[in-house]
Structure 1
C-alpha cells in the first residue's frame, strides 16, 4: 500500500489496520444484506413500487454484470493497471482530499435541497432546474479544482488519474463493455423501450443525462472518491463505501432522478430501499471502475441506466 499504508500501520499497527479494513468490508456487506432483505420483503408482501419490480431493473442486471466482470477481466493486466494508479496517487494527500470531497458532497446535497426549494417557491415546477447547475459545480468543477487539477500541473511525466481514466489506449481496457452491454440489455428487457425509442426528445434527453448527471457523478464518486478510499481501506471496502454514500446522497436529496420508478420523491426518504436500488447499481459502477479505470465505460453504463428508466416515464406515449 506504499506510503499511506505505512502511515496507517505506524499509527495502528498492521493487525489493527487489517481488522479495521475487514470491519468496514463486513459492515458494508451487512448493510447491503439488510437493505436487500427489507426491500425484498416489502416487494413480496405489499407490491411496493417501483415498477417494473426491483429484481429485474436492478438486481438481475447487476448480478450478471458483476459475474461477467469477474470472468473477463485479465488479472495480470488489472494488477499492472492498479500499480499505475497507485503510482499516480503517490503525491496526493489522500486524507485531506477525501475531506475536500466530503465538503463538496455536503455542498451538493444542501445546494440541491436549498436551491430546489427556493426555485419551487418562486417558479413552481421550475425547481428541477437547480439540479444541473448544482451537480456540475459541486461534483465536477470544484472537486477537480481542489483534488485533480491541482496535481496535473506538477505531475511532469508521472501519470495522473485523469490521464489514466480518459486516455484509454489499451484495447483490453474496453473488455468491460461486454458486461456493460449485457447489463443494459437485461435492463432494457424490463422497461418500456418502445416508448423511449418513439420519444422525439430522446437525443436531447440523452445529451442532458450524459453532461449533467453521468459525467459529474461518475468522475466524483468513482474517479475521485472511490480511488482514494481504495488506497485507505482496500478495493471492495471502497466499492461498498462509495456505493453507500452514493445511495445516501440520493435518499437525502429526496428526488427521483435515476433508478427508482414511481412517485416524484425518492422512496420517501427510505435509506434502505435507496441502498437496495441506487447502492446496488453503485456496486456495479464501482467494480467496473476498479477493473478497468476507464471512465468512458462508467459514463456509458450510467447514461444507459438513467435513460432506460427515466425517459419513458417523463415522455409517456400520447
Structure 2
C-alpha cells in the first residue's frame, strides 16, 4: 500500500518524476526506507510481545453505542472548518504583521488546530456518543492512560525510524543550534502533533477502522491527512511544500506525508498509544528542521 501511494504521484506527474530522479537517494534513505523498516519492526514487536486482539476489543467496547457515521460527518465538518479558519487567519495575521512587523504565521497554525482538531472534536465526540453511562470517556482512557508495558514497546520502532532518518539527513543539512527559538518551535510543534494525532489517528482512523477494517482505516486516514496538508500548505507555517501548481503539491504531499502517515497510522493501530505517535512526530520535526529554522516539509 505504501508503494502504491508513492508510485501513483510519480507515475502521473512528469515534472515531479524528473525532480525525484535527482533526489531519489535522499528520499529513499531519509523517508521511505525508515518508514518501511519502522512498520516491519512494529509488526514484529506487537506480534512477539503484544496482545493486539485484546486491545482491539477494548477499542470496540469503547466505541460501542457511538453513532460512528454521524461522528465521522462531524469530523469532516471540523476538518473543513480548520482549513477555512487557517486560510482566514493567515490572511488576517499577514495583514496585521505587515503593519506591526510581528511574525504571526505560527499563531494561525496553532489556533486553527487547537480549535477544530482538538477542542471542538473532543467535546462533540463525547457529547454525540453515549456519555450518561461513561462511555464517552472510554476511548481517551485507552489512548492516553497507557499502563500495559508492551504498549510502550512501540518506542523501539519509533527510535529506529528517527535514527535512520537522522543518519541520512543530519550529515547533509546539520541540526539547528539549541536556543530559545528552537525550543519555541519544538513546543509549538508538540502542541500541533498532539492535536493532529488525536484528530487523525485517535478519532478519525479508529472510527474508520471499525467501519472499513484495520488497513482500510489506516489508508483512508492517511489520505485525508496527506491531502489536508496539501490544501493548507500555502497558508500553514509548518507545511509549506515547495513547487507550484495544486497537482504538483498533492503529489508531493502524498510522497512525503503519505508514507509517514501510514507509519503513524500503523503504530497507532498496533499500540493505541498516542504518546508514541506524538514522540515520533516531534522527533521527525527536529530531524528535518533546517539549521536556519526556516520550516518546510515536516511529516
TM range (shorter): 0.7 to 0.9
Q: Does 1:309 align with 2:275?
A: no
Quick check: 1:138 aligned with 2:116? yes
Q: Is the 8 A contact 1:116 1:127 kept in 2?
A: yes
Structure 1 position 183 matched with structure 2 position 157: no
Tell me whether 1:91 sits opposite 2:65 in the alignment: yes
Partner of 1:280: 259
Question: Which residues in structure 2 correspond to 1:1-318 (within 5 Å)?
Answer: 30-35=4-9, 37=11, 45-46=18-19, 53-74=26-47, 77-124=51-98, 125-148=103-126, 151=129, 153-156=131-134, 160-192=138-170, 195-196=174-175, 198-201=177-180, 202-211=182-191, 213-255=192-234, 264-268=240-244, 269=246, 270-310=249-289, 312-314=291-293
SS in structure 1 opposite 2:275? helix
Aligned length: 284
Distance in 2, Cα, partners of 1:92 & 1:280: 30
CA contact (8 A) 1:73 1:291 kept: yes
- For residues 18-39 of structure 1, what are the alpha-carbon distances to aligned partners after superposition, in whole Å with 9 as ceiling and x for unaligned? xxxxxxxx8x975553025557
1:66 Cα deviation (Å)?
0.8
Partner of 1:23: none
* Gap change, CA 1:43 and 1:185, over 3 Å in 2: farther
Where do 5+ consecutive residues of structure 2 fail to align?
none
User: 1:196 aligns to what SS in structure 2?
Assistant: coil
Shift of 1:183: 0.3
Question: Structure 1 pair 242/50, CA: closer, same or farther in 2 (3 Å)?
Answer: farther
Contact 1:68–1:179 (8 Å) recurs in 2: yes
**In structure 2, C-alpha distance between the alignment counterparts of 1:245 and 1:254, rounded to whole Å:** 14
Look up the SS of the partner of 1:314 in the other structure.
Answer: coil
Unpaired stretches in structure 1, ≥5 consecutive residues = 1-25
Q: In structure 1, what is the Cα distance between the partners aligned to 2:251 and 2:273?
A: 29
Q: Over aligned residue pairs, what C-alpha RMSD do you find? A: 2.9
* TM-score normalised by length of structure 1: 0.80
Q: CA deviation at 1:151?
A: 4.6
TM-score normalised by the chain length of structure 2: 0.84
1:122/1:272 Cα in 2 relative to 1: closer, same or farther (>3 Å)?
same
Q: Greater shift after overlay, 294-303 or 185-194?
A: 185-194
Say if 1:52 and 1:190, in contact at 8 Å, map to a contact too: no
TM-aligned CA distance change 1:204 to 1:284, over 3 Å: same
The runs of at least 4 consecutive aligned structure 1 residues that moved more than 4 Å come to: 28-32, 36-39, 41-44, 47-52, 149-153, 255-258, 264-267
Q: Is contact 2:71–2:128 with CA below 8 Å preserved after alignment? A: no
Provide the rounded CA distance (Å) in 2 between the counterparts of 1:152 and 1:192.
48
Cα separation, 2, equivalents of 1:157 and 1:147 = 11
- For residue 104 of structure 2, give the secondary structure of its aligned residue in structure 1: helix
1:254-292 Cα shifts (integer Å, max 9, x gaps): 24655x7xxx44543321111111111000000000001
- CA offset digits 1:195-229 (Å, max 9, x no partner): 43623133332222111x11000000000000000
Note if contact 2:127-2:136 (Cα within 8 Å) is conserved in structure 1: no
Cα distance in 1 for partners of 2:167, 2:237 equals 20
